[in-house]
């Protein structure tokens, strides 16, 4: 089942404990990337860039990933309301 952007924010890994290289985290990141790509390819690239840097600074880049998802969720809401 495909998760929506809001679901991805809600189901994000616990970045303080998650191994950025684990199968589960990689699968979640791939799903997030593809969901974002459908809406905003530029933000998908931003998400991918932060995902690639998770092993260097998980705290910073995980926050950026969540913020990217929130920006896209806001854009979806805005489009649905016809703004």
pLDDT at 2: 54
Quote the tokens at residue 51. Answer: 């995902």
Helix axes 23-39, 58-80, angle to 10 degrees: 30
pLDDT at 80: 85
CA 70 to chain centre: 8
Query: Using an 8 Å Cβ cutoff, are 73 and 9 in contact?
Result: yes
Check whether 3 has a pLDDT greater than 80.
no
2 against 47, higher pLDDT: 47
pLDDT at 61: 96
Query: pLDDT per residue over 11-62, tens digit each?
Result: 999 988 999 999 999 999 999 999 999 999 999 999 999 999 999 999 999 9
Phi/psi of residue 11, each to 5°? -100, 15
Query: Using an 8 Å Cβ cutoff, are 37 and 26 in contact?
Result: no
Domain ranges within the chain, ordered by starting residue: 5-80
């Amino acid at each position: 089942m495909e998760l929506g952007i809001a679901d991805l924010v809600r189901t994000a890994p616990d970045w303080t404990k998650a191994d950025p290289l684990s199968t589960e985290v990689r699968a979640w990141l791939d799903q997030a990337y593809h969901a974002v790509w459908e809406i905003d390819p530029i933000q998908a690239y931003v998400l991918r860039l932060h995902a690639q840097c998770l092993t260097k600074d998980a705290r910073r880049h995980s926050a950026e990933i969540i913020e990217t998802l929130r920006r896209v969720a806001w854009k979806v809401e805005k489009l649905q309301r016809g703004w």
